[in-house]
Chain A
Amino acid sequence: MTPAFRLSGIAKRYPHFALEDISLELPEGQVMGLVGVNGAGKTTLLRLLNGLAAPDAGEVRVLGHVLPGAQVAAKRDIGFASEDMRLYRGRSLRWHMDLMQGIYAGWDAGYATELVRRFDLTPEQAVGGYSHGQRVKALLLLCLARRPRLLLFDEPTTGLDPVARIEVLEALADVLRDERRSVLFSSHNTHDVEQLADSITFLHRGRLVASADKHAFMDSWRRVVCQGALPAGLDDWPEIASARANGSLVEIKARAWDDGLPARLAAQGLQVQRSDPMALEDIFITAVRSGGVA
């Protein structure tokens, strides 16, 4: 089966930022959440995948096409929306829909009408009069109704109120029912990633620090509470992301939990009281503070 995309040894260098040594693959029908702080390289990665930027090294292959050379063919099957993308303020959503219909042979007018109703949009109104949430929903509508094989979203839920956010996430969840459709979306909101993604990719300072199945990835992280004195050098253990003492309690955040860890901690004088799974947000913050993920 052709993967939705495959990045092999990608580098993209700017004067003050560089994306280095990125190798990543998204199988068809999968949803990948891209997580990273501002400036981690998420937008650059999405631009490479849409053919908007050319890599300085490596190969970008999307839906079987090598980019940016074959970007026209690839973009016929890609729906791309980014947080900084805007529609023409003086024109209506209907005008934009007509433009899309002229460009994309697979434009699904019935689905577009259904999305207009679901998102409670007024197609005849000028887009300039839309709220931020309505603008995001209009952009998503224009992406979804062309029935692309790959959806690339850069921060799709940023700035949305809770109701609009849920509507957008529900629409995305509907899209994901189609097993041939693949999605890569970046988000600061780790709850969205946790809710929708099959796999998670962490970018930090232009480097890929982890990319794994969501459940396996989250299972590998644990918050461990121990009784005892914090031994020196615990932070240097490769499986430990952070360790801090609070009185006689020591809180450890393990990035590579295994059943043998409690025994190794016990050998250092720490008795494990409990170990809990961590939320993705907690993992994200811990990983960034510790300077890496895996």
Chain B
Amino acid sequence: MTLNIPVIRLLVAKDWQLFQKQLAVLVLAGIVALCFLGLAKPWAFYVGSLMLLIVLVSAACFSISTSLMNERKEHTLAFVMSLPVSPADFTVSKLIGNLLTFGVPFTVLLGGALAVVVLTPLPDGLLVYSLLIFAYILFAYAVSLAAVMSVTSEGWATFAMVGTMVMINPYIMGLAQIPDINDGTRVDAVVWTTPAVAILSTLVLLSVAIIGGATAYHARKPAFY
């Protein structure tokens, strides 16, 4: 499979340009959320963590909808497909574009959240918990991206995004039911327990497998229709 790298690069740059305003707003909102967290007060922690979750979910949904759903809805997809690209070029450009537009705010906010946990009076045990939350967001994003790449129905695509993202609520409740994880959030030390490592590695591996599988499937298509 030979990829048309110069055109893929241009298409990724195009997606980046189309998303950069929302990206700036989301990163800014994320930084505000981290500031609240950094105050290390119960009310500020609640506001900050809620805001951070909203920002992360928004970044995931905006990234996918801007580059994939909107292109279908606004018929710009036909324009892109008329360019000298194969389905493999198109899939790879969408994958890289999405990983960039979601990956940048995700990485910035993950780094910021970990720094806030370590550098402020918040218990250091929250570091593992934060990683578990971010890992779920990554997993939900991977499922949503794969679903939106695979279905043409806007309804099903929206269902996949909303469905996976709202499942973070029972996931958080589930984490609270695991003493090895829940107890660790109150201590001022990073404690890696078996359940935490298992959940974290499962979510990360699943995310990689889902995105990799969806990309391989779509990249092998001989034609767009």
Give me the interface of A with B, judged by CB distance under 8 Å. 47, 50-54, 68-69, 71-73, 75-76, 78, 80-82, 84-91, 95, 99, 102-104, 139
Contact = CB atoms under 8 A, between A and B. Distances in A.
Interface stretch (B49-57, B81-89, B94-102, B117-125): B81-89
A84 B222 contact: no
A54 B83 contact: no
A75 B224 contact: no
A38 to B, nearest CB: 18
A85 B79 contact: yes
A87 B76 contact: yes
A68 B82 contact: no
A62 to B, nearest CB: 12
Interface of B: 4, 6-7, 10, 14, 17-18, 74-76, 78-79, 81-86, 89, 222-225
A86 B82 contact: no
Given A76-B84, A103-B84, A69 B222 contact: yes
Given A53-B223, A86-B75, 6 more contacts: A50-B82, A52-B223, A54-B222, A54-B225, A68-B222, A82-B78
Given A99-B10, A103-B83, A53 B89 contact: no
Q: Which of A78, A80, A88, A95 has the most CB of B within 10 A?
A: A88
Given A86-B75, A99-B14, A103-B10, A75 B222 contact: no
A47 B82 CA distance: 9
Contacts of B89: 72
A117 to B, nearest CB: 23
12 contacts: A52-B81, A52-B82, A52-B225, A54-B222, A54-B223, A75-B84, A81-B82, A85-B79, A86-B74, A87-B79, A102-B10, A103-B6
Contacts of B4: 72
Contacts of A82: 78
A72 B86 contact: yes
B225 A89 contact: no
Contacts of A85: 75, 78-79, 82
A53 B85 CA distance: 13
Contact of A72 (B10, B76, B85): B85
A89 B74 contact: yes
Contacts of A73: 84
B111 to A, nearest CB: 30
Contacts of B74: 86, 88-89
A54 B225 CA distance: 7
A68 B79 CA distance: 17
B83 to A, nearest CB: 6
B225 A103 contact: no
Given A52-B224, A52-B225, A84 B75 contact: yes
A166 to B, nearest CB: 25
A51 B4 CA distance: 16
A89 B86 CA distance: 24
Contacts of A90: 18
Contacts of B222: 54, 68-69
A84 B83 CA distance: 16
Contacts of B225: 47, 52-54
A152 B14 CA distance: 25
A18 B212 CA distance: 34
